Amino acid sequence: MKKIIYLLSGLLALFLSMILVVLIILFIDPTIMVNERNIGWALDKSKVLEMRTWKKFEMSHEWKTWNHRRLTGDIDEFCFRMKRNGNDINSCFGDISWDFDLMFTMKDGFSTKTWKPFTVWSQKMDIALGDQPEQKEKSGPIDIFRWWSVVWSDLVPDMDFRFDSIQLTQKKKTSSYSFDLKKRARDLIARSMGYILTADPEKFELKGPDAIEIPEKNESIGPFYFRKLSLRGKVTKKSIPLNLTGYLEEAAVRIKAELMLPLPENLSGADFRKSFLSTVGGEVRIPDFRKAFSLRAPAAFRELPAPLNVMTGIINLKFDFVPAEGENVTLHSLTTIDLKSAKEALDLEIEAGADIPVMSFRPETLLIGLNFHEVKIELPRLSKKSPPPQFMPDKRFKNGPYRPPEVAKEKPTDVNIHLEALNKKSLHLATNLLDEPLRLNFDLLIGNGSVKKGHVTALPLKTEIFRRPVHLKHLKVTFNAPLEPIIEATINFPLPEYKVTLDLEGPVSKPRYAFRSDPPLPQNDIYAVLLFGRPLADLDPDDKTAAQKTNQLLSNGILSLSVLYFLAGSPVEYVGFDPDSKNATAQFGLTRKTSLRVGGGQEGMNAGGVRHSLGKGWYIDSTVKKGQTPSTEESKNYGVLLERVMTY
């Protein structure tokens, strides 16, 4: 047993001694082992490469001290072909050379001193990627800072890499690249496809080519181009803050983000996405919206539609993400639109917010808030004589037979919009129908295309309609779904003798009217005042006034108020008939305060009179009426009446 132990111990000592000898030889002159012949033999035997050739292979080693060596080498015209995992690499290197000192101290560890940068020059490199997905090996967290530190460590010599042609073929698509890299002790510069990366141990900057194409599916719009791309980053132990700037067409883009280090193993996982997106924020600024639109829109749409096409100005979008519950991040964005023309303005902010799942990027709900600061829009000129035309095409007319709507596979995103305009300048609509712009305020919550809650308010307005002054004192439309929107409005008609007030209230589809006046008048007389400037009355106490009939017609919706108001513009102030008394009445305006009324029944014209307003609810009324006494003798009755009319 002892013998066996002695034998085994001896063999082990011999083996260790041999390794020690090899190490000593390698330490004294590694080229004894690492040389052209041995490397060539190892490559051939291992069959790592399908094929390899080189024209020249030189490696030399110079002993300076036991811990300081100079290593030089030069390989010319090195070509190889390698096939592995379905990938095929066929490459030729014109020159691979190095010349540096390798040193070791207990204090600093290994370090190098470059006499000539490590040079790699490849004339061509053809890489054909196979269809098999690349098997990712499991690894731990990616410590970028460590790798970055390695790049700048003293161990890594200066480098000059140049790859003149890299042909990458994947799924029968071939793309060509070139790549070169110069690395020195304190700086690095790399170029490929027009991109330039410059770096030093603390920071880096990636500059893009003149124009980076961003594909667009809509062919009529064509691809977008990103210009003057600059991605700057600072590499620290904890994170890499990133700043991206450039121009997406005419829009200046600035995006910031921060990569927290170390990076997790799974970069497509929810945790990494959430932590990264939570640091993203940025700004897109279009300095001349009209120009940007004309440059970017499809050929047929190069001009903005009226009334926007006379406006020019800035559009600015700011956005950022903050962490939310679960695998969500919350997007906040603020778009500022500031467009102006000589008569118009569009100054508003659009705020958007959504909780976005980091894996699907399909938010369940999108909240949009529009805040109108100053919006002045000129409406198209409308004829006062004809009703407005149909401005919008009717979507109910379709080119094909009816098909039931398809049930959506995925729940569509709920879009909730909050519209807010709550100051005096918020929204002004200028129309030729009104003397002053219509000033609107609103606070509306729109969900899935319909207004759920809120109100629209018109600020006071003075104008003239059919030669009568009209003051819109108050108008409010209140939305409270599922109830029909309700309108409430107060309109004043400041007539010479009276101030008539029209209260509108009720569902928007059919608001109800109510009138009051100052001095107060009965409802029936208010119609007459509104239409003709004065009440209708009669000496005969049993006569139902003509305006009462007007009241009925109005109340029953037979005659619209606007038609009556239109009639009021003519000298014929009233034509009416009372079916009870069978009497017809007509009234004509003589002067602004005086009217002539004639009346008659089946027997013909039998009454006439002049009514004159004295103001403040006082009238003087004169009549002449043909009558019959009980003895059937015909007579004429002449009369005058001073009258005061009021309600309370």
Q: How far is the CB of 590 from another protein (least distance, A)?
A: 20
Q: How far is the CB of 633 from another protein (least distance, A)?
A: 9
Closest CA relative to residue 547, chosen from 556, 558, 536: 536
Q: Are 422 and 443 in contact (CB under 8 A)?
A: yes
Q: How far is the CB of 533 from another protein (least distance, A)?
A: 18
Report the residue number, 534 or 549, with the smaller CB distance to another protein. 549
Report the residue number, 9 or 637, with the smaller CB distance to another protein. 637
Report the residue number, 179 or 588, with the smaller CB distance to another protein. 588
Q: How far is the CB of 648 from another protein (least distance, A)?
A: 5
Q: How far is the CB of 607 from another protein (least distance, A)?
A: 12
Closest CA relative to residue 144, chosen from 41, 49, 2, 258: 258
Q: Are 244 and 255 in contact (CB under 8 A)?
A: yes
Report the residue number, 116 or 516, with the smaller CB distance to another protein. 516
Q: Residue 489 pairs with which residues in a beta bridge?
A: 475, 504
Report the residue number, 180 or 344, with the smaller CB distance to another protein. 344
Report the residue number, 162 or 290, with the smaller CB distance to another protein. 290
Q: What whole-number distance in Å separates Cα of residue 147 and Cα of residue 199?
A: 14
Read off the tokens for 235.
Answer: 């590499």
Q: Are 163 and 170 in contact (CB under 8 A)?
A: no
Radius of gyration over alpha carbons of the chain, in Å?
A: 45
Q: Are 262 and 272 in contact (CB under 8 A)?
A: no
Q: How far is the CB of 635 from another protein (least distance, A)?
A: 7
Q: How far is the CB of 473 from another protein (least distance, A)?
A: 16
Q: How far is the CB of 305 from another protein (least distance, A)?
A: 4
Q: How far is the CB of 162 from another protein (least distance, A)?
A: 52
Report the residue number, 4 or 642, with the smaller CB distance to another protein. 642
Report the residue number, 206 or 584, with the smaller CB distance to another protein. 584
Report the residue number, 439 or 611, with the smaller CB distance to another protein. 611
Closest CA relative to residue 372, chosen from 319, 439, 311, 437: 439
Report the residue number, 258 or 621, with the smaller CB distance to another protein. 621
Q: What whole-number distance in Å separates Cα of residue 127 and Cα of residue 163?
A: 13
**288 three-state secondary structure:** coil
Residue 352 has φ and ψ, to the nearest 5°, of: -130, 145
Kind of pairing, strands 468-480 and 483-494? Answer: antiparallel
In Å, what is the CA distance from 341 to each residue of 302, 311, 377, 378?
18, 5, 10, 11
The neighbour count for residue 624, using CB atoms within 10 Å, is 15
Q: How far is the CB of 498 from another protein (least distance, A)?
A: 15
* DSSP letters for 35-100: SHHHHHHHHHHHT-SSEEE-SEEEEEEEEEETTEEEEEEEEEEEEEEEEETTEEEEEEEEEEEEEE
Q: Are 357 and 367 in contact (CB under 8 A)?
A: no
Report the residue number, 133 or 630, with the smaller CB distance to another protein. 630
Q: Are 204 and 235 in contact (CB under 8 A)?
A: yes
In Å, what is the CA distance from 226 to each residue of 249, 251, 252?
6, 9, 10
